[in-house]
Amino acid sequence: MDARRAWVLHVDLDQFVAAVEVLRRPELAGRPVVVGGRGDPTERGVVSTASYEARAFGVRSGMPLRVAARRLPDDAVFLPVDAAEYEAVSDRVMTALRSLDAVVEVLGWDEAFLGARTDDPESLARAAQDVVLRATALHCSVGIGDTKVRAKIATEHGKPAGVFRLTEDNWSVVMGDRPTIDLWGVGTKVSRRLAALGVTTVAELAAAPVDALVAEFGPRMGVWYHELGHGHGPATVDDRPWVPRGHGRETTFQQNLTTPDQVRSAVRALADQVVRDVEDDGRPAVRVALKVRYAPFVTTGWSRRLPAPTRDRAALVDAMTALADRVEDREVRLLGVRAEMEMPDDADPAARTPVRGRI
């Protein structure tokens, strides 16, 4: 009988995109580096990632490039996104991880879960760091947990280039007093809704009545958020190829769109691109969505479930374009169109989460 315990490890490359760029340009080491858009901070665009040196000045992913430029010193470097290079380096990372005695579940360019039975998960974590470093010269942090949720959150406590263990035994001590936004899967909007219920910390979420959470978030997500407060969740690492939940395209316009005709034309152009992605995918779409960012920087969006799953080009383009009718008569700086796909198994909200680095 195998007495070794099952563990989940979460491997997260430190400042992955910025680190890849520094590898290509060693003279940038130690300087604030920002990757986003076409690499021109005078143009409209947002930060895809920032080096730790840039983050020290308050630069974060999703921030407008112009805002980032105002916060950074003159020696800061802005670079364009090079998705092909990041994908290539990511493949080397995942190949290195697969050399270990563990199941590897890829989450994106820069992160993966490892599943293994071992009596020394810290040794496995250090082995993961070693093989990645030797294969790519990149550093990573590793979180160790007894669930995917705890392993994922543990990684943040190990950054940079460290290892941290978070289990049922120390969950309350480590996480109890932390704000709910520190939980994997809780963003700004959800944390605000929780705060409106009087729930501001992880401990308060764990103690919150399930029926109150269900009333606010629905029967599925209400129960999920309650479980999240305890760090519960799936613990099975799945090495099947990653399946995207959807396909999306978005564009930030250098000049605001000012008329409904311009908006509809832009939405249709994006819809054509998304439908090509859907056709290449092979699965039918079940929902379409439109994201709008008005000038100066107010973002909203809408979605609609399709009458039936479909891959029909005309039906999908028409459904996406119809959402443009909901755009207000205001100047528009960004539009995004997305198709949500039929998934093999949607029963578990954490089983396959959207990943960074893939649109």
Q: Which residues are catalytic?
A: 111
Q: How far apart are the first and last CA of the chain?
A: 44
Chain centroid to Cα 220, Å, comes to 21
Contact 201, 178 (CB under 8 A): yes
Q: What does the chain come to in residues?
A: 359
Tokens found for residue 350: 């954490």
Tokens found for residue 298: 């107010």
Strand 103-108 to 285-294 pairing: unpaired
Give the residue carrying structure tokens 């941290």: 164
Rounded Cα distance, 76 and 65, in Å? 12
Given its phi and psi angles, is residue 218 left (phi above 0), alpha (psi -120 to 50 degrees) or beta? left
Give the residue carrying structure tokens 């195998």: 2
Rounded Cα distance, 43 and 64, in Å? 9
Give the residue carrying structure tokens 């290892």: 163
Among 184, 166, 160, residue whose Cα is nearest residue 8: 166
Among 10, 55, 7, residue whose Cα is nearest residue 35: 55
DSSP 99-150: TSSSEEEEEETTEEEEEEEES-HHHHHHHHHHHHHHHHS--EEEEEESSHHH
